[in-house]
Structure 1
């Protein structure tokens, strides 16, 4: 039975939450649904299939696993599709023993049905979320298990029903249903980790390879291979435990709580808290669950969830105006305290609330689920790498078939012929490649940690290497958090004043509004709140009084004239509304006012137009915003009832004035932006601020060229003009769809973007896509964007422009955009560091350069490991093919030496290569099937094939060998010697001969070639530091070179015996010297080929078409830093 995504429907008496999305299909004439709701977060289930274990299939699979020596069992573990067909049968839901879950990201998991006391209960747990099957006859549905009963109660009913807390019976029931109140981060045991990792598909191939190596007599090599794999796996397990323990420590909340159960107070541990429990809040407590405030007011710090350290007020549901409204967590967040937030202040003694969601069902729990099960990143580097390996396998097998003719002629034993097939696959398929990739990523995370950047997702480091667009929030990111007061102007909007003046009654009133319409709170004698509000309060000369009462929110007083203002109601600022509202009473004048503070555009729309000098207003606003200043507008109306609803207060208000602040750029903002642009990174601003203010900020930050004639300002479709001339654009959509738009840099609002998208809804095909592409490519500033719009812009940049996009921000408004971006960076020293892949403990924008440079370096290291691995393995194949002419094979020690004293250490050292201090306009080509990459690889093989001189095996390369007629090879030179004796002994005992004159020469040639391969493939500038700056790798390479020189020239003193070199061959000094010269010539030939053909004329890196022209000074500075 399958349950899939369908349309939202309801039937019968089954209530469906408005925020839920239902998934449906038809089965046996019954509608079966999956109900998704916000408790799942992003980890939604989109499809469920019911399966039942088949006993007969289990027996058959067991037999096959025994016959194949557990190989079939390993295949079952790695292939979900084969496992489903081999073990399970599709089933009705009632008979199901397991469920196949398809998650939101397309990944699939098989989960076991949970047996409960109720025989009819159908339960399963997917990604730490429990789901239950509901069937009331009219509706059948799976839904996530959480305390949803409260959503069917009105606010009035909630206070009445829950005043006595939970009964003992409900405590027992809720414990079984919801579990303990804790987020348990699973840390695999060593055994579990080894079973999981060592049964991966690459390891399966490794086990088969080891088996054949043992059969071939390479016991020493096989043992070392297994030991190295286990050691690297143990290192990765150690690093994993460190990371998971940090996450577990962060998830843990353990404190004592006072709860009401059976109408009596009890003290329990927070782990024992259950949904439906009523508990008391305490100052400075960290909340262990999502809860609903039932009484009093509470001030909390939500920085652990949003990154913003400003206090957030929460009010009880008793203060809500609509008491008969059903509870909805989405629309009543001002009444909900979320898990992980910290209580700053409670007003009153008996402040209590009800636990709503605990563990992974909480909002914080959904964030942990997202971290534990991140969406798989589609990165073509990995896929193309597999394709390239498959191409090499085909080529190698063709070559083997050619070689097969010879081995049949000499009557090589059939067993050895079979061994050779697996040898070929072993050399071409890199079983340890994922391990080396993992090491590259892990070392990169450690390097970022030393730079005070906490990175939590290794895969994101690799993606950072391909980022081409970087988006910035404005306030707190490009600019400082702190603000300086620029001044204010009254309702006439004819001049800016820097000091308080009391020239008119309206101006006096405006000063009072500065002191009363804000979100500042007095906590332990300190003002806490948004920087803008704190500055405005200080400017007004009012001070918050420490008085507390249920009758009002707070009082402020000014010492100079004893002016006393009482604030009765506060509707906090909301980004979506772009305003906040308060009800204030002037105790001296005995007048009551409704005050609205917000963006100038919003207040202008709300105000009675007769109260505004519109010409002066627009002139003043343009003048201020063009200077990049932060402008806040005020409106008001006199009222006589403090119980008015918000909508009533905000209707027909009078304009009163503007408050202006200056938000200066951070010290290094302009410099960092220039360095990013020099690194071919497109920079864009996505902000919630005023458009003209954001444009000016972008100019000062060097994001936008300071040429007003080339800047198009688009507030909405009917308000689009060229900034310098104010020339209005009659049809913005037509301009954007044309090539002429490339002359401009656009600054647009979120509203304008919505209008464009709506206009394009009815269009299809290339017209719509090209118009959007033009808009996104040429828009540098996005302003007045709501949080969802920010995320949508990131998504459009990713999908329409097909680019990797980064986002950096510091506040709650940026969280969705940071999450949507390919890489997200945040500034915080608080617990919010876990909410983005990269978190910087300081405030400098230089962290962006550090992350991108590290990403480019890591990606380059991984590609080099890949290229080196395949090139060296192909060289092994070539060497072995030559030796097959001698009916021999490298010795046990020779194979061990090349792999574990040379190749593996080289790759580990390669991962230590560090990034440049700055970005260059080049990025690594990640398309492994690209012509440049293949050309580089083939070129390497051509040199090495000639170097080995294989005449029969590589006849297809005859033209290349002929064109290089003067080049001698080590093997041919050996055969030309008078003392050369070709081996004619047929191998016996199912093992190749491991001695002979050619054996040592091939070993020495390939060993020295490995050094030259790594040296020639090493890509330093413009991606990472030069090879000599990687001291360990450079020293190792130098040591190997020197040692190989001694082996060639002084073999008797340099390990002739343990290297298994033929005594007769190495005794000819002149011959060995010429062999060294041949190796050096071809080695330097590879280096010249890579440096002067591939890198110089074709280029292993791509230069972005968006590269900006660099000034001479900036180029000199970059060059100086690289050197």
Structure 2
């Protein structure tokens, strides 16, 4: 979204900037929305000078609009039309936002990126380019480079002075400049000088880290090589930086790193996209850009739909996207501009700082009042009153708040978990639901072949039937249907790289089971017609030597065409030619895919009557099923290479059913149980069969044995009065079957206990498939929120549906983690609060977290470290706030007698106690176990506000008692204000007493707020912090004893100081725990939306009666649902 503005009022802007010595401009730098109001007025986009861009995260950016014309550069400007051609225009108006260029399309009246227009090109454009064999002219190249820019991900290193300036003008350092100025004015040179040195060092470290990250990013992305590109005057060798969209170029046969996104025009390629998509294994890219005519409209190119044909390294390609528009560019931009964390803790932090500032205003007014009454000099009044602000709002607060995140991130890196967005770590502490992909995440990547069920062809009198289970693929066991072995041996995307077979793990397992061999064909083995059509040689598949003599099999098979596997289609196919046939026009299409999809493509006469029963039987035991089918084709090579997929994947003959076992990883059950014990909900989101997914969910503990399990499905042949598909509900049981009869359903065996554990959890679980989820989304949207609150298995989910599920969970206030290992999970990983990609790459565009250990042990680790970081941030903030309020109250008391703490007392507190404690606060490691009770996430909760306010009251009363009681001592000498001395003498007995008392209060604050279990290890695991507190305690105990004039009162006074410091704080800490515990147990408390839903529907599954009877009934929200009731066994 964007708004247009005209530049106005420059004189007023510059005048205010000059008069305020730049402070006005600095304020506008911090508040960009104010800058817009001062510098511009709203107008239409056609005449605007600036555009205010609001991204999907509601982050605003004010960008200037530029333009170029033919007179400015000597070339006629051109913009893409969306059909592959360029249109000449008089002027191009554009702006850049986060490295991308956006141009103004007057006909569309919107700003649009040129690459977005290229994402809608008709497929016939690529088809025509492939046939023409001509490239772009030099004039076209120059014009396109003007529009798109160079093909270079240019991560520029900012000058050191610029980095220093950017760091120095942050609010944190500006406030430090203000504080240091006040301290120097008050002759507090020691600490002020140390703060200046520390600030300079901190700025230097920040600049060094920024520069190091920029260099690391630059080394990761900056690369170029020479490519052979086809231009109008022939093939030329140029630098990859000179490529423009529309270029056709050749990548060397030995492969390499692609410098742009490109569409595969000829041949096949094996690519490794782990860094970009998180896909854990190499995948195959094939040619499939054939125009499809449908109702006089041609299919258009889509980067998502045709991702299987977009190449990142390979053979002949057509460039489509350059620089920051590429997928790699998106990764770089996601690192440079991370997703802002919409976390309540951060918002509460700023509100709490505002609350502290309000307290500072009270002290400011108090100081001015008493000093004016005493006729103090104006300079002293100003300095002392402003000094109160620097005490109550500590300048070191922002730096101290980051120690927990920094330490957690370092510990994660040691465990091979990398984070490109450290600000996400605190959010991980609030995770309460974890979504998992199944294959490769919960289960092993590899599959074990279990059995083969071939189909015996039927006759006019008999229906087709399955053979007995076959433990191998021996043709002798399949005399009448051995072609199923041919289908398995040829229908795959396997290729050879350096003499080794590479491809999808499922393809490799099945191919190796057949015992066949795959060879890259040589010229003299290729049919002449193939050579005339394409110089890319087909893959040959050969049976074992013994089978070649079998009349069922040929000596070799040529794979002419591949239709790669698609998650949306749930199948793949190949067109195979048998070179031994008398006519090369006889070809066969072999198809394999999910049993449900293949069934819809097959001729019903070729499908055994018990097909679905057999599929469900195996699926209920957790097996993965692949159906295999074929179709005879009569066409030549040219037609086979260009025919659309939907024209051949129809009227298939079913060949058989392959049963594979997808073993659950050894660590999965333990991790899921650990999350369940911590009351963190676990959800499976997979593209596999619903019954298979539910069986695996039972095996790994997502579906628990003490809960009822139901399958939610829909009917395509029955509709309710509103025309909506009828829903069905089946109870899945692991033991004996028990039918549910609507109103007669018995729920008495479900125990419902009280307490947080149960009213925030349900005593039953639902499972649903992607097609039914789509029906609910469109026809029953009112059911989505209660459904996602109790549904824990989502099967046959497309990639976009996974993202929708994450969004629905977030909509009911869940903090969601998503863990997956493949490209199909990218959208969901990016949508989640914490996406964790299982990949060998150190950084992935798919998620802020990347684990090199390919199992889900990383999930509880990330949550534990997130909780540790969150609790550390809470503790540091409360410690720093408590320190500020403690010092504030002591200064208020000393101002009453016109004195203050001495410079060395301030220095000891600020430098040797507060700073060291804050630095070492985050060193406490995370707990080894996940607690069932989540950590607090709100600073402005009743418990947190009570804690800080209670500390202020306790500290103030304790100090008031010490301040008064010391005057009762016989050796007390009252403080007298020195007269005529240039250097103010601040030494006083009240000051010394308050200094000794508050020192123990600071130590107490550190001990109380440095909480250990259940989210962190006990404090003694933090050795540097323990040493610091011990040393400070010994020093202060010694100084307290030496400071009291009479020996008999030394030990007593020291003990009293400790008791009045520690005792009330411990009582307050117990009260805060009681408040939190009461809130957790109170169902009327202000819970999240999902908690309220579970409180209404989770304790008793009887609400499902309105969801299961076969008639229209209300669901409690004014809507009606018609549902049929069934039972199945799992």
Q: TM-score range by the shorter chain?
A: 0.7 to 0.9
- Residues 719 and 1095 of structure 1, relative CA distance in 2, 3 Å threshold: closer
Structure 1 position 805, deviation (Å): 0.4
Q: Give 2:645's aligned residue.
A: 646
Distance 2:1074 2:218 in 1: 50
Deviations 1:978-1015 (A, max 9, x none): 34233342788998652222222222222221111111
Contact 1:487 1:497 (8 Å CA) reproduced:
yes
Deviations 1:152-210 (A, max 9, x none): 79437752897443444344434433332221224433322332232223333332222
Alignment: residue pair count: 1005
Distance 2:868 2:707 in 1: 38
Structure 1 position 678, deviation (Å): 2.0
SS of match in other structure, 2:565? strand
Q: Give 2:468's aligned residue.
A: 495
Distance 2:113 2:851 in 1: 36
1:788 aligns with 2:800: yes
User: Please, which of 239, 255, 267 is the counterpart of residue 269 of structure 1?
Assistant: 239
Q: Give 1:600's aligned residue.
A: 595
Structure 1 position 82, deviation (Å): 2.5
Contact 1:61 1:87 (8 Å CA) reproduced:
no
Q: Give 1:32's aligned residue.
A: none
Deviations 1:424-462 (A, max 9, x none): 322222333222223332222111111111111111111
Distance 1:664 1:94 in 2: 60
User: Please, which of 621, 632, 635 is the counterpart of residue 627 of structure 1?
Assistant: 621
Q: Give 2:1031's aligned residue.
A: 1039
Distance 1:567 1:701 in 2: 39
Structure 1 position 1046, deviation (Å): 1.5
SS of match in other structure, 1:486? strand
- Residues 335 and 814 of structure 1, relative CA distance in 2, 3 Å threshold: closer
Q: Give 1:680's aligned residue.
A: 679
Deviations 1:703-726 (A, max 9, x none): 111368544454665443112366
Give runs of aligned pairs for residues 183-332 of structure 1, distance below 5 A. 183-282=153-252, 283-316=254-287, 325=298, 328-330=301-303
Contact 1:1013 1:1086 (8 Å CA) reproduced:
no
- Residues 584 and 153 of structure 1, relative CA distance in 2, 3 Å threshold: closer
Q: Give 1:459's aligned residue.
A: 423
Q: Give 2:662's aligned residue.
A: 663
Distance 2:101 2:114 in 1: 6
Q: Give 2:1054's aligned residue.
A: 1076
Q: Give 2:502's aligned residue.
A: 528
Q: Give 1:18's aligned residue.
A: none
Higher relative contact order, chain-length normalized (CA < 8 Å, sep 6+): 2
User: Please, which of 810, 820, 823 is the counterpart of residue 798 of structure 1?
Assistant: 810
Q: Give 1:483's aligned residue.
A: 447
Contact 1:634 1:657 (8 Å CA) reproduced:
yes
Structure 1 position 399, deviation (Å): 5.9
Distance 1:503 1:779 in 2: 44
Q: TM-score, normalised by structure 1?
A: 0.83
Q: Give 1:1058's aligned residue.
A: none
User: Please, which of 1007, 1012, 1031 is the counterpart of residue 1004 of structure 2?
Assistant: 1012
Contact 2:803 2:831 (8 Å CA) reproduced:
yes
- Residues 415 and 1013 of structure 1, relative CA distance in 2, 3 Å threshold: same
User: Please, which of 95, 101, 125 is the counterpart of residue 155 of structure 1?
Assistant: 125
- Residues 392 and 991 of structure 1, relative CA distance in 2, 3 Å threshold: farther
RMSD: 3.4
User: Please, which of 52, 56, 60 is the counterpart of residue 11 of structure 2?
Assistant: 56
Distance 2:173 2:667 in 1: 48
Distance 2:676 2:96 in 1: 48
- Residues 1019 and 406 of structure 1, relative CA distance in 2, 3 Å threshold: same
Distance 1:602 1:990 in 2: 92
Distance 1:399 1:319 in 2: 76
Give runs of aligned pairs for residues 1110-1121 of structure 1, distance below 5 A. none
Structure 1 position 94, deviation (Å): 6.4
- Residues 794 and 207 of structure 1, relative CA distance in 2, 3 Å threshold: same
1:862 aligns with 2:873: yes
Distance 2:856 2:16 in 1: 57
Distance 2:95 2:415 in 1: 43
Contact 1:477 1:810 (8 Å CA) reproduced:
yes
User: Please, which of 863, 880, 886 is the counterpart of residue 891 of structure 2?
Assistant: 880
Deviations 1:331-371 (A, max 9, x none): 77368534xx333xx4xxxxx33322210122322332233
Distance 2:969 2:307 in 1: 91
Distance 2:572 2:131 in 1: 33
Contact 2:5 2:40 (8 Å CA) reproduced:
no
Contact 1:274 1:358 (8 Å CA) reproduced:
yes
Distance 2:423 2:143 in 1: 42
1:142 aligns with 2:111: yes
Give runs of aligned pairs for residues 697-736 of structure 1, distance below 5 A. 697-706=696-705, 710-712=709-711, 714=713, 717-724=726-733
Distance 1:1088 1:613 in 2: 74
Contact 1:51 1:100 (8 Å CA) reproduced:
no
Q: Give 1:964's aligned residue.
A: none
Contact 1:703 1:780 (8 Å CA) reproduced:
yes
Distance 2:23 2:983 in 1: 25
Contact 1:294 1:316 (8 Å CA) reproduced:
yes
1:468 aligns with 2:454: no
Q: Give 1:544's aligned residue.
A: 518
Distance 2:340 2:445 in 1: 35
Contact 1:1012 1:1086 (8 Å CA) reproduced:
no
Contact 1:216 1:992 (8 Å CA) reproduced:
no
Worse-superposed segment, 257-266 or 738-747: 738-747
1:342 aligns with 2:333: no
User: Please, which of 604, 612, 618 is the counterpart of residue 618 of structure 1?
Assistant: 612
Contact 1:629 1:663 (8 Å CA) reproduced:
yes
Distance 1:272 1:637 in 2: 46
SS of match in other structure, 1:458? coil
SS of match in other structure, 1:923? coil
Distance 2:613 2:309 in 1: 43
Unaligned runs of 5+ in 2: 73-90, 456-464, 532-536, 716-725, 753-760, 1082-1086, 1100-1130
Structure 1 position 293, deviation (Å): 3.3
Distance 1:417 1:630 in 2: 80
- Residues 330 and 728 of structure 1, relative CA distance in 2, 3 Å threshold: farther
Contact 1:514 1:537 (8 Å CA) reproduced:
yes
Unaligned runs of 5+ in 1: 1-45, 347-351, 762-767, 950-968, 1052-1065, 1110-1123
Distance 2:997 2:27 in 1: 39
Q: Give 2:411's aligned residue.
A: 447
Contact 2:690 2:796 (8 Å CA) reproduced:
yes
Give runs of aligned pairs for residues 33-112 of structure 1, distance below 5 A. 46-52=1-7, 54-66=9-21, 70-90=22-42, 96-112=48-64
Deviations 1:234-275 (A, max 9, x none): 323333333333322221222222223452333322223333
SS of match in other structure, 1:928? coil
Contact 2:368 2:385 (8 Å CA) reproduced:
no
Distance 1:940 1:155 in 2: 72
SS of match in other structure, 2:65? strand
Contact 2:167 2:207 (8 Å CA) reproduced:
no
Contact 1:105 1:375 (8 Å CA) reproduced:
yes
Distance 1:1075 1:331 in 2: 74
Structure 1 position 671, deviation (Å): 0.9
Deviations 1:687-718 (A, max 9, x none): 00011111111111111113685444546654
Distance 1:846 1:331 in 2: 31
Q: Give 2:541's aligned residue.
A: 556
